[in-house]
Amino acid sequence: MNDISITVVGVVGSDVSFSPGDTGARANFRLASTSRFFDQHTKEWKDGPTTWLDVVCWRKLAEHVNDSIEKGQPVIVTGRMRVRTWENDRGRGQATEITATSLGHDLARGVTQFRKVRTNPIPQASPAPV
């Protein structure tokens, strides 16, 4: 099966849901992506329809998303897209989901500060004996 790679620019539309999990951390949130266009008749910018997507992050990316991303922030998400079908007591449905491989703030819309997380800290030298 071929994966569908996708990059989406949008706004975080829900709080990040985080769970550490036995097989690795998982974070997910809803992403709203709205197209904009210039209306030649009214000479104004207008919003097009909003597309809602579920974003799922795993392991270290999930931990970093949980620590860095909040509802309402503009982001860029890259990952693999799939349509997931579901069924519950209220009926059936479909959700478009992106399993993120990379995610960050959209710097065209604001500023952020990056802090690298060390995975293997450098050991401290022992003090010399007196």
Question: What's the pLDDT band for 115 if we cut at 50, 70, 90?
Answer: confident
Q: Which CATH architecture fits 4-34+43-105?
A: Beta Barrel (2.40)
* 32-68 confidence digits (pLDDT tens): 999 989 999 999 999 999 999 999 999 999 999 999 9
Closest CA to 13 of 48, 52, 62: 52
Mean pLDDT of the 85-101 span? 92
Please report the beta strands in 1-130, taking only residues with DSSP state E, as ranges in sequence order: 4-12, 17-19, 26-39, 44-58, 74-88, 91-105
Phi, psi of 23 (to 5 degrees): -100, 15
